[in-house]
């Protein structure tokens, strides 16, 4: 399994591309700069097997519709976040407009299963509400890669003061992540990557 990190947009939200030797790819959190993401996919010769969104904040999904139009593939997102993903309130002026809606009626609801597989790439969905009502972390068990969205950051955690945020839920979600093995690599939606072991030992919010 291979992982590419592409910082996008004004908030440097990181879009991750997880791909296998068969050139199949899962695109996670295509936040902005659709053409940059598409170029990287093309350069690596990858086929998009699915788009997976950890949550629906505008800085994480603004490139979804444009990518999906050019490179169609299933979209997976928690229903609790899909419910408001394209509402007028989901913009971050002046940096992000209201996200365009991809041409699908509903996504594959991430809450409907723990174990997922697209084109031979397996992952698990860990529901981690608190930053948003439908927040999820995505775990690729081999070799232990966690795409953490805005739930867990190196030395910090997601804010809970935005609409739909809930500090008690976030605490419970961080407790879930604490159960993962030490050597799981954590790739957050913003900033540096880390490991579960490092965060359990040093992150105040994981104590």
Q: Which is nearer to Zn ion, 141 or 191 (CB)?
A: 191
> By CB under 5 A, is residue 57 in contact with Zn ion?
yes
Q: Which is nearer to Zn ion, 31 or 118 (CB)?
A: 31
Phi-psi region of 36 (alpha: psi -120 to 50; beta: other; left: phi over 0): alpha
> By CB under 5 A, is residue 188 in contact with Zn ion?
no
Strand pairing partners for 156? 153
| Of positions 189, 194, 195, 203, contacts Zn ion by CB under 5 A | 189
Half-sphere exposure of 11 (CA within 13 A, CB side): 23
| Distance between CA atoms of residues 25 and 20, nearest Å | 7
Say how many residues touch Zn ion, by CB under 5 A. Answer: 4
> By CB under 5 A, is residue 81 in contact with Zn ion?
no
| Distance between CA atoms of residues 108 and 23, nearest Å | 22
| Distance between CA atoms of residues 33 and 121, nearest Å | 25
Q: Which of residues 148-177 bind Zn ion (CB under 5 A)?
A: 150
Q: Which is nearer to Zn ion, 1 or 92 (CB)?
A: 92
> By CB under 5 A, is residue 29 in contact with Zn ion?
no
Residues near Zn ion, by CB under 5 A: 57, 59, 150, 189
């Amino acid at each position: 399994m291979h992982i590419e990190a592409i910082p996008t947009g004004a908030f440097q939200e990181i879009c991750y591309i997880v791909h296998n030797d068969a050139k199949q790819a899962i695109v996670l959190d295509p936040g902005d700069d659709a053409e940059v993401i598409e170029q990287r996919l093309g350069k690596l010769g990858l086929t998009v097997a699915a788009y997976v969104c950890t949550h629906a904040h505008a800085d994480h999904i603004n490139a979804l519709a444009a990518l999906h139009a050019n490179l169609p593939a299933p979209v997976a997102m928690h229903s609790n976040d899909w419910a408001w993903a394209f509402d007028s309130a989901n913009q971050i002026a002046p940096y992000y407009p209201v996200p365009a809606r991809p041409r699908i009626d509903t996504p594959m609801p991430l809450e409907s299963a723990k174990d997922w597989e697209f084109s031979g790439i397996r992952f698990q969905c860990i529901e981690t509400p608190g930053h948003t009502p439908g927040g999820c972390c995505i775990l690729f068990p081999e070799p232990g890669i966690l795409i953490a969205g805005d739930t867990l950051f190196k030395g910090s955690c997601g804010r809970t003061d935005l609409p739909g945020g809930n500090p008690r839920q976030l605490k419970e979600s961080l407790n879930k992540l604490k159960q993962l093995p030490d050597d799981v690599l954590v790739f957050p939606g913003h900033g540096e990557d880390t490991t579960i072991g490092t965060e359990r030992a040093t992150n105040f919010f994981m104590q």
